[in-house]
Amino acid sequence: MAEESDAGFTLIEMLVALAVLSLSLGLIGTVVSTNMRAVRKIEERVAVIQEASAALVTAVPGRDRLLPGTLRGASASGEWTVLVAPIGTGWDVAAGQAGWIPRMVELRLRSASGAVVDVRTVRLARTAG
């Protein structure tokens, strides 16, 4: 007479394995969701920075016309403000000579999504001579 085989899983073992599998899939889903949100935020940030870079190139006047003041405008993804200000003092150029004066250029871009990017740079402005 052959003995009955004990091979295979019991019902309890199957339920434990199913619970472990469910927990693992749930954790994997959470990680994937978090990563997707992070990637989306990074993509939005890169797009706003690219828009700010484009606004800096197109909105700031050339060296011959770079005067202190504020400029405002709109781009495809939001509104921008450019503030041009002198840097320090003592940059006087002798009368009748052309020269260069550094100007602080600050750009603030506010995208339609509400993200804000501030960019500061120095540009040389040509003085009339």
pLDDT at 100: 84
- What pLDDT, on a 0 to 100 scale, did the predictor assign at position 78? 83
Amino acid letter at 65?
R
Residue ranges for the chain with pLDDT beneath 50: none
Amino acid 129: pLDDT: 59
**pTM listed for this prediction:** 0.66
Domain locations in the chain as residue ranges: 11-126
Q: What pLDDT, on a 0 to 100 scale, did the predictor assign at position 25?
A: 95
Sheet arrangement for strand 100-111: 69-74, 78-86, 100-111, 116-126
